[in-house]
Structure 1
Amino acid sequence: MKEIAETATPVFDATYRQLKESITGGSLTHGERLPTEKWLCEQYDVSRTTLRKVIEQLEADGYLERRARKGVYVSYLVTPPIFEFPTSVHNLLRGAGRVSNSEIISYHTDSVGNTNPPIFRCPAEEPVSVIRRVRYVDGRPFAIQTLCLRTAFFPEFDPWWLRDQSFYTLLSERYHLEIDRTNQKVSTCSASKEAAGYLQIPVRTPLLHTTSLVITPKEEEVVHMEHIINTNVFPYTFCTNSL
């Protein structure tokens, strides 16, 4: 999250988290106008100044959009989770004769407890490796990926492998991890200023937002992936079985 507020405070962080959860959890739905500032201030017990900074941050992060002379609306769309086996986009593109590669934006280690909300069911102090990259097809940026790995399952992982290799190939061939399934969620958002810069598109361009949780046959949650995808460059579709 790229912070707009000059100094993040516990009140700011708590209000941001609660309002974001109302959006991603479906309490505030796609296309719905935000309640009045007075109501929100009373609901979250915050000042108007803090509330406005929180709303600005949620706009920058693609969860809200401001419409001229109409107010602030929810731009995030929630759809039910689906379950499927993963497909390597890298290998699909290479198989079709396309050039697929990535640029690593950042790499750091952290603990599960510092992810918000916690993305794995495991001890909060367990380390994770966090990698952000821009993905390209034929030289055009089409997605921003944030990849979180439970470090214990990926010793000596080198993020630079991802510049020109399939992550799923690395997972199976180098680390010999078997995948039982992935839990995916699909939604929409609009491009923040940061995302627009990386993807070379206008701010507020509609984007596809996906998250995937990779689970082994032993019910171990080992990888969490988040993608923001420009479907004008790379069409993205799903096939699911009826339940």
Structure 2
Amino acid sequence: MDKLVSKLQAELQKQSDVEILANASWSLPIELHQLSFNTVKRTTMDVLMKMILITVQKMDINSAKELASFLSVEPIFAEDLIRRMQIAEMINKDEDVYQLTELGKSRLESGIYEHPPEQEEKKLFYSPCHGEYIGGERELDSVEQTSIYRWAGVFKTDGEELEETQLITTLQTESELDADNTQVVIKSVEKPNKLADYAVPCIEFLLINKLEERRYTRVWNTFLDRWDIQLEKQIEEQGMLEL
């Protein structure tokens, strides 16, 4: 930690009009959460699936065997796709005849197949003082315990009270169709489950701009490995280091 402090001091003192008045080290409380959520995969519909949907839409088909014969494919392929599309609620069987549902018609028009939802879990570190998740699970270095961030109680936000939309945004892996034409979308997220409490070291500097005669704060967050603007604003709002 001493080496890091020295390195940061040297960086700050590169500005000739800046003087370091004081510094302090303290621990920022963070929590390890487990998030359980449902995802769906969207893929570009293959040719056989499209052919099955079009055939079911235009003809009275009452069995996978009949469908396979009409399309000249192995019955096992037709059976598998029909089963998958029934689970996905794209087709149903009414009076012994397969029919497209409204969802099936929509999927055929878009050319996108949405797979059944899958349950997934992910562990993330949550910072109550930031009110957000700040990183994925990792091994935290063992450090000498220091005092807890003095304004932690003022800015504490309960992770269990986060809106589902905020959780989805955090977890969202949706992107444009990639090389294998797969897109993953977060559909729903359960309330976070806190697994453990941790604390990560931060280094605070009280500085003065001698030209402007203005005091301000810089905070290095070792978890983020960067200057933490949000914590700096909190400290300048609530109270900077005293000389």
Would you say same fold, with TM above 0.5?
A: no
Higher relative contact order (CA 8 A, sep 6+): 2
TM score, norm. by length of structure 1? 0.27
Q: Which one has the largest radius of gyration?
A: 2
TM score, norm. by length of structure 2? 0.27
